[in-house]
Amino acid sequence: MPHPLGTQPSKIIAVHLNYPCRAKERGRVPERPSYFLKPPSSLAGTGDALARPRGCELMAFEGEIALVIGRRAHRVAPERGWEHVAWVTAANDAGVYDLRYADRGSNLRSKGADGFTPIGPRLLDATRLDPAALRLRTWVNGEAVQDADTSDLLFPLGDLIADLSRLVTLEPGDVILTGTPAGASVVSPGDVVEVEVSTLDRVDSSGRLRNPVTEAEHDLAPWGAMPRVDAALRADAWGTPPADDGPALDEGLARDLRALATATLSSQLRKRGLQHMTIDGVRPTDPGAKLVGTAHTLRYLPLREDLFEKFGGGMNAQKRAVEELRPGQVLVMDARRDPTAGTIGDILALRAKVRGAAGVVTDGALRDSAAVAALGLPTYYAAEHPAVLGRRHVPWDTGVPIACGGALVQPGDILVGDADGVVVVPPDLAAELVADCLEQERQERFIADRVSAGEPIEGLYPLGPAWRAAYQEWLSTPS
């Protein structure tokens, strides 16, 4: 379907980073906007295919808000920038990471291919819109993957027009792609990407820009740059955090948590109204080991044979999850508490250890259990099972909130495990929990001393007013 502009713009300009959530995902916050150009021949409309070149693996989508210039902009002040925008619509700044190395920075081959800039389907009148109150949403195969608004952009939309117009004259019909929020990732042939731009109340909407992903019908000619990928590029394309952004958990906090019993943590979480923070039904390969780290999540879905080849083969979500691990992270798996098939075995567990993982937690089964136990990597699991991947599960996605053993685990949550089990600790509560847990454990040591001396537990456990003075005296006595 033709794009809605009717005529070809003289240029398409795209912003690299503009949403704080995307900047956090990328591990850097730019001081000033930076841009790249896309050829006008890359424009497409809703329904047009996004054709992944043969030999490429990492076809990525990026839902964006597109601005269409209505009148010439040259040396425009920021407060007047929006006045030069005629239309607003949805866009997909598509590209293949496999060719990004060839034109580092310019993105010409990786993002400039024919059809890689679909826009539409409807144009919204910019004069009726508040540039700080637009909502952008993206779906892949009907599942929401991006949802953000323009209230906190790093660089407001009118400011982009002003910045560009200092040196580049913007002509009527020119298109500005204003950046993508967190959630942009990789799609494969057979997937369908949809993008919508609307007002916050959805009274005005661009409608859904819908584009199926296909495989190109011809081979990529062998002259010139050819597709090239590695583990770091895969992690970048799939949207995982950079591997060099420091330790996953503050070393001092990790040390304090390692000194605490999960029973104490569970008690303190319960006092705060958090009743469902234990990962139930799992046991450790080594009851004497301690697990402390931040969650990196992997979600399995029930097996569907017609989808397993697409999602279970190659560099699937299970393997990506392991390759995405950073030092100090715990691989946490949602296998729907199904113990009748393995969710990880000795080779991937070894790779997780080599990557610096703090441990593994799965509410499914463990393959090669003796070999995994011998690795010395703290691992919690529901059962042993010899079956390979594909008997009960499809590895689906990573870095998303999951249910593991009945507990909701978000990426970045802190996991603490010992012989009693595994507890999920909200990061924003960790410091105060440590302080209260240390006090609770001090009280319990005092109580244990008194019980050993023959005292009855009434009024003593939990520590009652009658024992407070004795407890304070015990604290002040050198041990």
Residue of higher predicted confidence among 402 and 236: 402
Residue of higher predicted confidence among 126 and 4: 126
* pTM exceeds 0.85 for this model: no
Amino acid at 271: K
Which residues are CB-contacts of 435 (< 8 A; sequence separation ≥ 6)?
Answer: none
Q: Do residues 228 and 289 share a domain?
A: no
Q: Which domain holds residue 257?
A: 251-425
Q: Do residues 339 and 407 share a domain?
A: yes
Q: Which residues are annotated as a binding site for Mg(2+)?
A: 368
Q: Do residues 311 and 366 share a domain?
A: yes
pLDDT of residue 384: 96
pLDDT of residue 49: 96
- Is the pLDDT at 247 greater than 70? The verdict is no
CB–CB of 93/181 below 8 Å?
Answer: no
203-213 pLDDT, tens digit each: 999 999 999 99
Q: Do residues 349 and 289 share a domain?
A: yes
Boundary (domain end) residue, out of 410, 425, 440:
425
Q: Do residues 163 and 204 share a domain?
A: yes
pLDDT of residue 475: 84
Assigned domain for 177 exists: yes
- Is the pLDDT at 59 greater than 70? The verdict is yes
**CATH (domain of 275):** 3.50.30.40
pLDDT of residue 246: 42
Q: What percent of the chain has pLDDT over 90?
A: 67
**CATH (domain of 68):** 3.90.850.10
Boundary (domain end) residue, out of 425, 446, 468:
425
Lowest mean pLDDT among 36-50, 156-170, 456-470: 456-470
CA distances from 281 to 133, 406, 415 (A): 46, 9, 15
Q: Which residues are annotated as a binding site?
A: 345-348, 367-368
Average pLDDT over residues 340-349: 93
Q: Do residues 437 and 420 share a domain?
A: no
Mean model confidence pLDDT for the chain: 91
Q: Do residues 212 and 288 share a domain?
A: no
Which residues are CB-contacts of 313 (< 8 A; sequence separation ≥ 6)?
Answer: none
CB–CB of 153/101 below 8 Å?
Answer: no
- DSSP codes, 307-357: HHHHHHSSS-HHHHHHHT--TTEEEEEE-TT--SSEEE-HHHHHHHHHTT-
Residue 242 pLDDT level (bands cut at 50, 70, 90): very low
Assigned domain for 63 exists: yes
Q: How many domains does the chain have?
A: 3
Average pLDDT over residues 310-320: 81
Q: Do residues 261 and 348 share a domain?
A: yes
Q: Do residues 293 and 214 share a domain?
A: no
pLDDT of residue 64: 98
Residue of higher predicted confidence among 463 and 268: 268
- DSSP codes, 141-206: TTEEEEEEEGGG-SS-HHHHHHHHHTTSPBPTT-EEE----TT--EE-TT-EEEEEEEETTSSSB-
Residue 104 pLDDT level (bands cut at 50, 70, 90): confident
Assigned domain for 4 exists: no
Assigned domain for 243 exists: no
Q: What percent of the chain has pLDDT over 70?
A: 97
Q: At what angle do helices 430-452 and 262-271 cross, to 10 degrees?
A: 110
Lowest mean pLDDT among 101-105, 301-305, 395-399, 415-419: 101-105
105 vs 87: CA distance, rounded Å: 28
CB–CB of 201/211 below 8 Å?
Answer: no
Report, in this order, helix, strand and coil percent for the chain, each rounded to 5.
Answer: 30, 30, 45
Lowest mean pLDDT among 109-123, 309-323, 394-408: 309-323
Residue 232 pLDDT level (bands cut at 50, 70, 90): low
pLDDT of residue 233: 77
Q: Do residues 93 and 222 share a domain?
A: yes
pLDDT of residue 173: 96
Give 242: exposed, middle or buried? Use CB within 10 Å, 0-12, 13-18, 19+: middle
Assigned domain for 37 exists: yes
Region of residue 385 (left: phi > 0; alpha: psi -120 to 50; beta: else): beta
Assigned domain for 7 exists: no
Q: Do residues 63 and 122 share a domain?
A: yes
- Is the pLDDT at 33 greater than 80? The verdict is yes
pLDDT of residue 1: 67
Boundary (domain end) residue, out of 204, 238, 272:
238
Residue of higher predicted confidence among 178 and 315: 178
Average pLDDT over residues 258-277: 93
Which residues are CB-contacts of 135 (< 8 A; sequence separation ≥ 6)?
Answer: 147, 148, 149, 150, 197, 198, 199, 200, 202
Give residue for tokens 């569970």. Answer: 266
- Is the pLDDT at 113 greater than 70? The verdict is yes
187-203 pLDDT, tens digit each: 999 999 999 999 998 89
- Is the pLDDT at 292 greater than 50? The verdict is yes
Q: Do residues 387 and 465 share a domain?
A: no
Assigned domain for 352 exists: yes
Q: Which residues are annotated as a binding site for substrate?
A: 345-348, 367
Q: Which two tokens stand for residue 111?
A: 């993002």
Lowest mean pLDDT among 88-97, 180-189, 304-313, 349-358: 304-313
Average pLDDT over residues 212-223: 92
Assigned domain for 313 exists: yes
pLDDT of residue 293: 95
pLDDT of residue 295: 94
Would you call 16 helix, strand, or coil by DSSP? coil
pLDDT of residue 286: 96
pLDDT of residue 231: 66
Residue 243 pLDDT level (bands cut at 50, 70, 90): very low
297-313 pLDDT, tens digit each: 999 999 998 888 778 87
pLDDT of residue 240: 56
